[in-house]
Structure 1
Amino acid sequence: MKRIMITGILSLTTFLFATGQTKMIPSLNNQKKEKMDTTILKNTIVKKAIDALQAADRQTWFSMFTIEAELYDDGNKMDFKTFFDIGHERFTSIDKVENNGLNVYGKFHSDKWGDFKTYFRFHINDKDKIERLDVGQADY
């Protein structure tokens, strides 16, 4: 009889502890996704490009550039298409904008390199396409 009682108490205790537990890992579906405010960007071409980058919209992002667009990363020429195929790069904040909206400074996240301050300097041709983009780590 003692054995049955002890087994019953242990089973009941285990059941109560197990059903009272809650998951400590939040569901990605329940997390609030906030869109970063890009209204500070007054150059419509730059804004559309940054909005596409933020949304990981490859089609719109690449459509903003000329076929032979050049990319320079801290002064080093890079392959434009390969560079932006690395992962989901995005600004986490836009801290300042200069040069009629062509130079954008802010905090940036790269799936490969982590978080850092950056600059994006856009060069737009007379057909409203971005022909060159200079990016790099910023000190501001």
Structure 2
Amino acid sequence: MTIQPKNLSDPVVRDFVTAVNQHDRDAFMALLTPDATMADDGADRDLDDWIDREIFQSHGHMEVDRESDGGHALIARYRNDTWGEMRTRWRFEVDESGKISRFETGQA
């Protein structure tokens, strides 16, 4: 059963999923620390290049199936125009200011 973004436990993760699904790059970037990092399938990636290619230019969309770790870990069906739909895992590190300092994704 899909968890609607508005029902996700952690507010910054909720806003992350909403920004992805609304294709709102400015809102997405506002959720990250200035030095935020990310990894895809265990390999660190260039954040700006990756989010443009995998989310914003390819119309990425997340449907969350499960959350754990206080809302900092998700299992979601992720789809975009490049890869179609796949089952993915997401993990978020949120700093004391309430911003995402790192996120990791990959196939689940």
- In the alignment, which residue of structure 2 is the partner of 1:53? 20
How many angstroms apart in 2 are the aligned matches of 1:80 and 1:132? 10
- Per the TM alignment, residue 66 of structure 1 is displaced from its structure 2 partner at its CA by 1.0
- In the alignment, which residue of structure 1 is the partner of 2:94? 124
- In the alignment, which residue of structure 2 is the partner of 1:80? 47
- In the alignment, which residue of structure 2 is the partner of 1:134? 104
Is 1:112 equivalent to 2:82 in the alignment?
A: yes
How many angstroms apart in 1 are the aligned matches of 2:19 and 2:6? 14
For the aligned residues, what is the CA RMSD? 1.3
SS of alignment partner, residue 35 of structure 2: strand
How many angstroms apart in 2 are the aligned matches of 1:131 and 1:101? 15
How many angstroms apart in 2 are the aligned matches of 1:77 and 1:103? 18
Q: Which runs of 5+ in 2 are unaligned?
A: none
How many angstroms apart in 1 are the aligned matches of 2:59 and 2:29? 14
Q: State the one-letter code of the partner of 2:81.
A: D
TM-score (norm: length of structure 2): 0.89
More strand per residue: 2
Deviations 1:78-133 (CA, angstroms, capped at 9, x unpaired): 01111111122111x21100000001111110222211000110101111110000
Q: Which runs of 5+ in 1 are unaligned?
A: 1-35
Higher relative contact order (CA 8 A, sep 6+): 2
SS of alignment partner, residue 70 of structure 2: coil
Deviations 1:23-81 (CA, angstroms, capped at 9, x unpaired): xxxxxxxxxxxxx8213311011101110111000000011001111111011000111
Q: State the one-letter code of the partner of 1:121.
A: R
SS of alignment partner, residue 106 of structure 2: strand
- Following TM superposition, the consecutive aligned residue runs of length 4 or more in structure 1 with deviations greater than 4 angstroms are none
